[in-house]
Amino acid sequence: MTQYRKKPVVIEAVQWKGTIDSVIEMENFLNDGPQADFTQNPVPMFIETLEGRMRADVGDWVIKGVKGEFYPCKPDIFEATYEKV
């Protein structure tokens, strides 16, 4: 079996906090604004990804990929995979 290591890639990411300020931050980050559902608590957010519409819960990170695509990432996976530069 051949082993492979993930290439180091610098990404941009913003953490969803479920607040109005966080919506504004996401609008500035995403090409298309997020859709937050303030009728729920905690407030989920929905974003368009290459795989379709995906949900980001409060605390999740939204990552901009190497080709400009966006996708949500759970906090524990984000912490295990990325470090601040």
Burial 35-62 (b: 16+ CB within 10 A, else e): ebeeeeeebbbebbeeeeebebebebbb
- Assess if residue 39 is contained within a domain: yes
71 pLDDT above the threshold of 90: yes
DSSP 8-state assignment for residue 59: T
Higher pLDDT, 39 or 77: 77
CA–CA distance, 9 with 35 (Å, rounded to integer):
28
Q: Using one digit for the tens of pLDDT, what is the confidence trace for 19-42?
A: 888 888 988 898 766 787 778 888
Quickly state the pLDDT bin for 60 (edges 50, 70, 90).
very high
- Assess if residue 43 is contained within a domain: yes
Average of per-residue pLDDT values in the chain = 89
- Assess if residue 34 is contained within a domain: yes
- Assess if residue 1 is contained within a domain: no
What tokens appear for 64 in the block? 């901009």
Q: Which domain holds residue 57?
A: 12-81
- Tally of structural domains, the chain: 1
- Assess if residue 6 is contained within a domain: no
How many contiguous H segments (helices) and E segments (strands) does the chain have? 2, 6
Confidence (pLDDT) at 13: 96
Quickly state the pLDDT bin for 61 (edges 50, 70, 90).
very high
